[in-house]
Amino acid sequence: MLKVALIQSHGACDPKEGLNKQIELIYRAKEQGAQIVCTQELFRTRYFCNRIDPRFFEWAEEIHGPTFQSFIEIAYKLNIVLIGSIFEKRTPGLYHNTAIVIDADGKYLGCYRKAHIPDDPGYFEKYYFTPGELEFPVFQTRFAKIGVLICWDQWFPEPARILALKGAQIIFYPTAIGWLLEEKQSFGQDQLSAWQCIQRSHALANGIYIASVNRVGIEGDERSQCIEFWGRSFFADPFGRIIKEAGEKEEILLAEIDFALIEKTRINWPFLRDRRIDLYRKITERFLS
């Protein structure tokens, strides 16, 4: 059995404070037996994309910046795989929402840059992030073959399918999703249910494990949209069942992963076998009239 931890926490007002807090939580996850640890989306700070402000670009870091250096040292010291979500400054004027992957020996395996960038009330990410151009890489870590997608990516079936076809056993989804306060009463439960449903469907349709980690807390003020991040991080198994789920407070969610269940599920539900790849060419077109 593989033990995997998701760190569900509050955003910080200062990047250094946020990094130090996350390091402390990673050590706690290791004490609980975690072998792979994944952070929430943009864990070092508050979710700044709920307003447009050029000052927030000062929070960005280069790929080999403070988070990278800290995670390299910790992964090596603790013998764990780390997945960390950062606000990446690739070059002046070019920024990404990026996840880095560090193996248990401290080796940097690569990164994934968020491909689907939302632009909705309270989620003004197109102002900050350039879409990533990496074609959904899979990372062979010491403990598992994994893929990483980020938040808005989770609503699209195509990336999950591609990662499954490339051999990923677990897909991690670092996330920042919540309710606009004025919408919670009317739409809150339906939004949460839809969020879980779409990711559970990825697990079931591909016979794969899903690990989705969200943030918690209310963020925003009179200058920005107030969002209540609902937490509820969860793991879904290859049958689409939620096997572990967090609440709406800060916590480390730990689950045991049994890879034998992937083959067992795919034998009984052979979706990959029965795909009609000869009929799917039109899927790459924007619209079919």
| Active site residues per annotation | 41, 114, 151
Q: How far apart are the first and last CA of the chain?
A: 48
CA distance 125 to 6: 23
CA distance 64 to 70: 10
CA distance 252 to 233: 9
3-state secondary structure at position 104 = coil
For residue 247, the tally of other CB atoms under 10 A from its CB is 13
Inter-helix orientation angle 157-165/184-206, to 10°: 30
CA distance 273 to 287: 27
How would DSSP label each residue in 71-103?
A: HHHHHHHHT-EEEEEEEEEEETTEEEEEEEEE-
CA distance 95 to 182: 31
Q: How many residues would you count in the chain?
A: 289
Q: Token pair of 132, please? A: 């990533």
